Structure 1
Amino acid sequence: MSSRGVDPSIRPESAADRLTRNWNELLQELRVAQTGVQILTAFLLTLPFTSRFGELTDTQKNVFLAVLSCSVAATALLIAPVALHRALFRRGQRPWLVGAAHVCAAIGLGALVLTVSGAMWLVFDVVAGRTAAWWAIGGSLVVFTGLWVVLPAVNRLRH
């Protein structure tokens, strides 16, 4: 590895090749996130139709609605690159598409963090009480921030 973190054994690539590689890598990453967020959203959409949903407090129902909204937003954002690709297919928009898809993926992952952390709060609040719920959401946010923000930032600083 060179001091800039680039492997010198890798052949140089053209701008078009780099865009294609970036697009393919992004699609591979999105496949992982899309499946999980779609399953989570589907599950959340069924909860109001369960018998115990009526027992939730107003606060818990409001948190549920916020979690559901974040989950739907994450679903839309993480699937958006596919829809954008279909709309712009063979129109020479690959540079814009890769950039827009990157932004959608980053914001979609942020919405996913809020969804999962909010769901943690809701489950802990129902099962173990409000104090445990705040610890659960705090722990969840610390784990996501550590793995998704701090770890890559440390790597960028080192390389």
Structure 2
Amino acid sequence: MAEPERRTGRDESEEERADRMWGELLQEVRVTQMGVQILFGFLLTVVFTNKYDSLADTDQTIYIVTVVLGAAATGALIGPVSLHRLVAGRRIKPQAVSWASRMTFVGLILLLGTMTGSLLLILRVATHDDFVPWLVAGIVVWYLVCWFVLPLWARRRSEE
């Protein structure tokens, strides 16, 4: 006997729900893609400046790690578009939405690392002060609250 379709409080089938969720996911990805691509583009230019050669080894290492994180974030956040293009018409949209959602989440984690590295490098070069790691840690906590804690809190409250 077939299981009845799961309802979500909306009058939509699983396919309609997947279509809606896909549209919402693409809107979210557009916002993050733009930001990560601009940040990544700026990061790529740093190595070609005169200042780069005068950076301490630690700062050059932070830069390299940050560029790699930015490249990985860009890949993860562009991935859903490629996924959609390659599986379009294969009748697996609910699964594709799930995979794309996971890629986007990984992309957000990588973007967090990219932004953290960028901020750390910029503040280390700009100030040379001992408070920089504390300031960066505070900003990372702020990102975590805005990007993960509050959304998860809202999600949990809606499930009660």
Whether TM-score is above 0.5 comes out as: yes
Matched, 1:29 2:36: no
| TM-score normalized by the length of structure 1 | 0.90
Cα offset for 1:13? 1.0
Cα offset for 1:87? 1.3
> What one-letter code is carried by the residue in structure 2 that aligns with 1:113?
L
Matched, 1:156 2:160: no
Identity over the aligned pairs, expressed in percent? 38
Q: How many residues align?
A: 151
The question of whether the paired residues in 2 share the 8 Å contact of 1:125 and 1:132 is answered with no
The question of whether the paired residues in 1 share the 8 Å contact of 2:76 and 2:104 is answered with yes
The question of whether the paired residues in 1 share the 8 Å contact of 2:69 and 2:110 is answered with yes
| TM-score normalized by the length of structure 2 | 0.89
Q: Which moved more, 1:131-140 or 1:49-58?
A: 131-140
CA distance in 2, matches of 1:157, 1:79: 29
The question of whether the paired residues in 1 share the 8 Å contact of 2:14 and 2:94 is answered with no
The question of whether the paired residues in 2 share the 8 Å contact of 1:120 and 1:133 is answered with no
CA distance in 2, matches of 1:152, 1:99: 18
Q: Which moved more, 1:70-79 or 1:139-148?
A: 139-148
The equivalences for 1:65-84 within 5 A come to 65-84=64-83
- Quote the residue 1:141 is aligned against: 140
CA distance in 2, matches of 1:131, 1:116: 20
What are the ranges of 5 or more consecutive residues in structure 1 without an aligned counterpart? 1-6
Cα RMSD, aligned residues only: 1.5
The question of whether the paired residues in 2 share the 8 Å contact of 1:120 and 1:136 is answered with no
CA distance in 2, matches of 1:152, 1:97: 22
The question of whether the paired residues in 2 share the 8 Å contact of 1:78 and 1:105 is answered with yes
In structure 2, relative to structure 1, the CA distance for the partners of 1:145 and 1:89 (3 Å cut) is same
User: Stretches of 4+ moved more than 6 A in 1?
Assistant: none
